[in-house]
């Protein structure tokens, strides 16, 4: 492979090729390096029958040379068939780890069309056969999504997550919501994880006569931002959800308590009041028997008094309503049973 000076005007850059992407800082750094030291690494080209050259690798360096007004650049001349040139282009760009995914997908497809197998491409690129197969499938995406992959608005991970959904219409809806809400891959994965059980339920009894309508972008946003509490059934924001380790007895207790109230905040306040009353009652006159406490509850329920007054140790009065008093009794029984 010889290296010689090649006129910039004689170098043809193919429209379809793998391309590495660079940040503005990297552009400035490369430009400064070429200004000071010239081309440290020649670009790679292949000759054409008409005396021109097709660029194989080095588009970034070539563009900087054009910007700086250079008329010639050093180039390594590679002579080989189309299949080898295409593979070399992929290897040169994927090695940098910052490639345009659609460029890689298109070049891999060209390699397959030229007779290279997916196993050969996997061995050459250092990736798995599944990786190669997935990138080749990117060529079948609608043009709009290919363009978003080229600009970086969509990542390969977005497409991979969306393709877990069973139908093209579901995949399209997921990617549309991703673009509208600017979701990262993690958020889209959450959406897909929430949507799949819903679809499994729909398809449980066989193919429906009419395909289910995917969630709108607004509904999709709600799906990833909110979920239902498994204890009280309320819909709350994900940031307010907790999933600690919990034993069966505690779960049963919390679940029972949540079901007694429509408002969980009210449930917590009532529980706190009942527990406080129970502890104050113990301090005021010793631990009451369950029979005497039950009698108080029954009397309160019959007469429907606005409150029951108990004298705490410190003096003054403690106001408690019949509902809280009844709950205090339940707490006492739970405490005696060793559950709290």
- Find the mean pLDDT for residues 132-137: 92
281: left (phi over 0), alpha (psi -120 to 50) or beta: alpha
Q: Which DSSP string corresponds to 213-265? A: PPPPHHHHHHHHHEEE-TTT--EEEGGG-------HHHHHHHHHHHHT-S-HH
CB 220 within 8 A of CB 177: yes
Give the model confidence (pLDDT) of 84-99 as tens digits: 777 776 666 655 555 6
Nearest CA among 220, 237, 222 for reference residue 177: 220
Percent of the chain with pLDDT over 90: 24
- Find the mean pLDDT for residues 104-130: 83
- pLDDT exceeds 70 at position 276: yes
Instruction: State the pLDDT at residue 141.
Output: 93
CB 56 within 8 A of CB 44: yes
The phi and psi torsions of 75 (rounded to 5 degrees) equal -140, 135
| Strand ranges (E), the chain | 3-7, 11-12, 43-47, 53-57, 72-77, 226-228, 235-237, 308-310, 318-320
Q: DSSP secondary-structure letter at 212?
A: P
Lowest pLDDT segment from 15-29, 127-141, 268-282: 15-29
Q: How many CA atoms lie within 13 A of 137 on its CB side?
A: 10
Instruction: State the pLDDT at residue 304.
Output: 46
- pLDDT exceeds 80 at position 214: yes
Instruction: State the pLDDT at residue 146.
Output: 93
Instruction: State the pLDDT at residue 174.
Output: 96
Report how far apart, in Å, the C-alpha atoms of 208 and of each of 83, 169, 195, 289 are.
Answer: 46, 15, 17, 61
At residue 138 the predicted structure's pLDDT band, cuts being 50, 70 and 90, is very high
Q: Tell which wins on pLDDT, 178 or 132.
A: 178
Its sign, for the CA torsion 62, 123, 140, 154, is: negative
Q: Tell which wins on pLDDT, 178 or 80.
A: 178
Give the model confidence (pLDDT) of 145-162 as tens digits: 999 998 889 999 999 999
Instruction: State the pLDDT at residue 16.
Output: 64
At residue 305 the predicted structure's pLDDT band, cuts being 50, 70 and 90, is very low
At residue 220 the predicted structure's pLDDT band, cuts being 50, 70 and 90, is very high
Please, which residues bridge with residue 72 across strands? 7
Report the chain's mean pLDDT, rounded to a whole number.
78
């Amino acid at each position: 492979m010889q290296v010689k000076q090649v006129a910039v005007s004689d170098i043809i850059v193919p429209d379809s090729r793998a391309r590495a992407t660079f940040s503005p800082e990297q552009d400035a750094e490369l430009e400064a390096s070429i200004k000071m030291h010239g081309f440290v690494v020649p670009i790679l080209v292949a000759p054409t029958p008409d005396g021109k050259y097709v660029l194989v690798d080095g588009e970034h360096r070539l563009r900087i040379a054009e910007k700086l007004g250079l008329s010639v650049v050093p180039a390594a001349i590679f002579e080989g068939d189309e299949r080898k040139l295409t593979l070399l282009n992929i290897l040169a760009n994927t090695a940098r780890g910052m490639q345009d995914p659609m460029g890689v997908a298109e070049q891999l497809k060209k390699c397959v069309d030229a007779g290279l197998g997916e196993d050969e491409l996997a061995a050459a690129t250092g990736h798995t056969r599944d990786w190669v197969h997935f990138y080749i499938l990117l060529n079948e995406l609608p043009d709009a999504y290919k363009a978003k992959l080229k600009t970086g608005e969509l990542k390969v991970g977005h497409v991979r997550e969306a393709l877990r959904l069973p139908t093209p219409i579901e995949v399209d809806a997921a990617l549309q919501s991703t673009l509208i809400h600017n979701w990262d891959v993690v958020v889209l994965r959450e959406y897909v994880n929430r949507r799949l059980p819903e679809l499994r339920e729909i398809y449980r009894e066989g193919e429906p006569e009419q395909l289910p309508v995917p969630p709108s972008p607004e509904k999709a946003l709600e799906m990833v931002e909110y979920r239902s509490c498994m204890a009280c059934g309320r819909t709350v924001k994900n940031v307010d959800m907790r999933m600690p380790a919990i034993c069966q007895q505690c779960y049963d207790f919390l679940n029972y308590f949540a079901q007694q109230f429509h408002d969980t905040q009210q449930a917590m306040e009532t529980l706190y009041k009942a527990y406080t009353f129970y502890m104050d009652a113990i301090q005021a006159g010793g631990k009451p028997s369950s029979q005497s406490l039950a009698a108080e509850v029954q009397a309160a329920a019959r007469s429907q008094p606005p409150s029951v007054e108990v004298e705490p140790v410190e003096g003054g009065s403690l106001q408690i309503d019949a509902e809280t008093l009844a709950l205090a009794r339940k707490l006492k029984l739970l405490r005696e049973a060793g559950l709290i």
